[in-house]
Structure 1
Amino acid sequence: MAVPLHPILWVSIWVGAAPLIFYVALIGLGVIPFFQRHFLYAHTINSLWWSDINAPVGWGFAKNQVTPFGLQTSDGETIYAWHIMPLPLYLQHETTVATQDMGFCNDFTQTESFRLLASDPEARLIITCNSPLQNAGHIAQNTRPDSYHALTDTSSYHVLAIDYRGFGHSTGAPDERGLILDAAAVVDWAINVANISPNRIVLLGHSLGTAVASGVAERYALQGVEFAGIVLVAPFSDLATMLSGYRFGGIVPALGPFALWPSFARVLDRFIVDKWHSADRLANIVRHTRNRLRISLVHAKNDLDIPWTEDNKLFRAAASETIGTLDDDEFDTWKESYTVRTSGDSFVTTWKTGGDIIIRQELFPYGGHNDILSFAPVSLAIMRSFDLGGTAYD
């Protein structure tokens, strides 16, 4: 006759099994596209209840330095955007800019801020593709305002930042095609409404935003449009590979023991609805470049969310389009000849083709996953994209 388990033992078993049951349930829900996209983008998590993103002064910006406005996408969504004026330019025109109406602007083209952007034939613009995966939230959540300040407080750069569809005040729901259309709406507006030439635009992506930046850059490369530069911060080669090693908060593995299975990423890719194959897209961008291209990959060594080794895959995919196919040992030897070791935890690899294509990978010792956006390597990568400093790539 079986001896019944003591109630305390039953409780112990259930306490131990509950996390596993919960984890397995999440994995099961994760193969369903609706839940998978909610897990991936976390677009319903934000602080809009207690944050007024139509009042950017709350994040330390000067009055009307930031103009919130809306953009229409080609498939009918309305995307919430911020135009952030460089602070030195704001200082020159503070009287006229500060007296504009505050808050959301229904027609940005009628503002002094727009005039200062569109009427300057030398204006340089950074279009930021934030990371919906890492920060969720909205356009001003977490560390994003710090990165905007770093880009505009002492420079001459204008910045355009958006909330993708389904985030913040933007309409719709996120997916791979939609997020690329959102970024394309910003590019189209910049070129066709603000009259900014593509050679004065840098696409800046962070984390999952690097996949968006790569996607929109590929879209325009196929049309023969070449930007001043593509700067990818904490990027990854494709979503399945990234998720295999991704850690929530830099600690908890997203897919735990499955990541120990070498071919797991290939199996996972079959179930992921939004693939985000950035390595393939970078290769395609290089393949279709006819004149000039600047690709900068920047990663912090102490990034606990996405391993810096993902940059190696992106660099190889892009460079291989110009040097041909090499096996692993041959490529490593070739790459090392163009690498400068700046310390035990940092290096810079720079590949210049015979034409005007420059592909640069930089590993920086510090910055983690988010703070790196406000660190010097990112600002320098943008300067290099605009060919400032002459031999800055040497």
Structure 2
Amino acid sequence: MPTSDSSGSRPYRLATGLAVAVPLGLYGAFLGLGAIPFFQRHFIYAHKIHTLWWHDVNGPQHWGFAKNQVTPFSIQTSDGESLYAWHILPLPLYAQHEAQLAAQSSGFCQDITKTDSFRLLREDPDARLIIYFHGNAGHIAQAIRPASYHALTDTSSYHVLAIDYRGFGHSTGSPTEAGLIIDATAAVQWALEEAGVPASKIVLLGHSIGTAVTCAAFEHFAKKGIDFAGVVLVAAFSSLPQMLSGYAIAGWVPVLAPFKAWPWMLEKVQRCIVDKWESAHRLQEVAGLIRARDGRLRLHLVHAKNDWDIPCHEDDILFAAAVSGATQQNRDHKALADEKASRTANKGKDAFVATWRDGDVVIRQELYPHGGHNDIMYYAPVLMAVMRSFGQVDDSP
């Protein structure tokens, strides 16, 4: 009679042990490498995961743009890096000048200031510009990015300036928090100084980790007394350590979530994250600065309920931080929740708009039921937020 240690059960026990040990070993290796800044930044920014091998970003027609509607060029940073960039003309404006634009040389432009597309931006006093800061991984034209550019430019009067951060795509250097802030500052300065677009005609638009870059650029210029037409943050997070504590790769592979059972250990692991990206703190500081000098603020937070990468409750933290800064009051959680509820318009299942208005300061949080982490970028709430920033749509709920 066979015993419980029969040879027939050993393969099963071995397979079971391997099924547990292999994922745990991989997770341990991932954490070990992640403690090293070099590897950690590769994991966070994923800038080496791209399709440049088979996609030529100097040929934007591949993504459905009209010939020379997009001008690829470079922007130089204050610390000597070269950022690859696209200037995208609004299609209705392009159509008015199609013959002369199509006759220009195509491909990468060594001096954008000599192009008709640049002239159409610089010489139009009514030109409106969206400066687009994309999320991690890929390059300027990867994944949903071209579709989101189309949504912003196909039927509007909006120009778009998009950049690849250092280390991404054809840009030089390697990504760090300090470096990406320099990159964002360079892009905005190019728009203000080279293109001559006033800040009142510029919207800063960020997606995912690009929202953290946007907040940092917003802070930099707010300290100089510069107010933009609007700031739109899509799928944003309050801080990188906070976000990673609940983040799951592709929505199901947890990063730091297993450590929540041991708060002391989670705190130690979070301290190892080298780039903090404290967006909530930045928004609180900036909202306070703008309110103190009676400036203008149009801050829009847009998030999809079904975002499995960055949970939508991160926007609650950002909204609370911005309101606290604007009002210079640190309300307790319940008091703020009650006030927010009184300023919230329900839009159906898993959808609402909360609007905090105080003088010329408007802070708006919109939860949308669909769009996930990426597709939301070309859904209606994002374009509507831009339109509200430019005063083309009533910014009431």
State the Cα deviation string for residues 62-111 of structure 1 (Å, max 9, x = none). 00000000110010000000000000000000000011000000000000
Matching residue of 1:342: 347
Q: Of the candidates 330, 352, 371, which is equivalent to residue 357 of structure 2?
A: 352
Q: Of the candidates 314, 317, 322, which is equivalent to residue 321 of structure 2?
A: 317
Partner Cα separation in structure 2 for residue 265 and residue 362 of structure 1: 30
Tell me, yes or no, if structure 1 residue 32 matches structure 2 residue 33. Answer: no
Partner Cα separation in structure 2 for residue 4 and residue 223 of structure 1: 76
Q: Is the 8 A contact 2:90 2:159 kept in 1?
A: yes
Matching residue of 2:395: 392
Deviation at 1:337, TM superposition (A): 1.0
Q: Is the 8 A contact 2:326 2:361 kept in 1?
A: no
**Bigger mean CA deviation after superposition, 259-268 or 118-127:** 259-268
**Bigger mean CA deviation after superposition, 286-295 or 144-153:** 286-295
Matching residue of 1:282: 283
CA 1:285/1:264 → structure 2, altered by over 3 Å: closer, same or farther? farther
Residue aligned with 1:345, SS:
coil
Tell me, yes or no, if structure 1 residue 108 matches structure 2 residue 109. Answer: no
State the Cα deviation string for residues 100-138 of structure 1 (Å, max 9, x = none). 000000000000000000000010000001001xxx111
Matching residue of 2:220: 219
Residue aligned with 2:347, SS:
strand
Q: Of the candidates 45, 48, 54, which is equivalent to residue 49 of structure 2?
A: 45
Residue aligned with 2:233, SS:
strand
1:105-254 aligned within 5 A: 105-132=109-136, 136-254=137-255
Deviation at 1:19, TM superposition (A): 1.4
Give the length in aligned residue pairs: 387
Residue aligned with 2:311, SS:
coil
Q: Is the 8 A contact 1:244 1:264 kept in 2?
A: no
Q: Is the 8 A contact 1:207 1:233 kept in 2?
A: yes
Q: Is the 8 A contact 2:259 2:266 kept in 1?
A: no
Q: Of the candidates 324, 327, 330, which is equivalent to residue 332 of structure 2?
A: 327
CA 1:13/1:263 → structure 2, altered by over 3 Å: closer, same or farther? closer
Residue aligned with 1:393, SS:
coil
CA 1:221/1:306 → structure 2, altered by over 3 Å: closer, same or farther? same
Q: Is the 8 A contact 1:65 1:97 kept in 2?
A: yes
CA 1:261/1:297 → structure 2, altered by over 3 Å: closer, same or farther? farther
Partner Cα separation in structure 1 for residue 80 and residue 265 of structure 2: 37
RMSD: 1.6
Partner Cα separation in structure 1 for residue 313 and residue 263 of structure 2: 15
CA 1:111/1:225 → structure 2, altered by over 3 Å: closer, same or farther? same
State the Cα deviation string for residues 182-217 of structure 1 (Å, max 9, x = none). 111110100000000011000000011000000010
- TM-score relative to the length of structure 1: 0.95
Residue aligned with 1:381, SS:
helix
Please list every run of at least 4 consecutive aligned residues from structure 1 whose deviation after the TM superposition is greater than 6 angstroms. 3-7
CA 1:325/1:345 → structure 2, altered by over 3 Å: closer, same or farther? same
Letter in 1 for 2:272: F
Deviation at 1:269, TM superposition (A): 2.9
Partner Cα separation in structure 2 for residue 21 and residue 110 of structure 1: 56
Residue aligned with 1:343, SS:
coil
Q: Is the 8 A contact 1:241 1:265 kept in 2?
A: no
Deviation at 1:251, TM superposition (A): 2.0
Q: Is the 8 A contact 1:269 1:275 kept in 2?
A: no
Q: Is the 8 A contact 2:353 2:367 kept in 1?
A: yes
Q: Is the 8 A contact 1:214 1:282 kept in 2?
A: yes
Partner Cα separation in structure 2 for residue 103 and residue 90 of structure 1: 17
Q: Which runs of 5+ in 1 are unaligned?
A: none
Q: Is the 8 A contact 1:226 1:293 kept in 2?
A: yes
Partner Cα separation in structure 2 for residue 96 and residue 260 of structure 1: 63
Letter in 1 for 2:331: L
**Bigger mean CA deviation after superposition, 65-74 or 15-24:** 15-24
CA 1:364/1:10 → structure 2, altered by over 3 Å: closer, same or farther? closer
Q: Which runs of 5+ in 2 are unaligned?
A: none
Matching residue of 1:307: 311
Matching residue of 1:82: 86
Letter in 2 for 1:345: D
Partner Cα separation in structure 2 for residue 266 and residue 358 of structure 1: 34
CA 1:83/1:260 → structure 2, altered by over 3 Å: closer, same or farther? farther
Letter in 1 for 2:347: T
Matching residue of 1:94: 98
Letter in 2 for 1:32: I
Partner Cα separation in structure 2 for residue 341 and residue 261 of structure 1: 37
**Bigger mean CA deviation after superposition, 173-182 or 3-12:** 3-12
Letter in 2 for 1:320: S
Matching residue of 1:382: 386
Letter in 1 for 2:371: G
Deviation at 1:258, TM superposition (A): 1.7
State the Cα deviation string for residues 285-328 of structure 1 (Å, max 9, x = none). 11111310110000011111111100000000000123312111
Tell me, yes or no, if structure 1 residue 298 matches structure 2 residue 299. Answer: no
Residue aligned with 1:297, SS:
strand
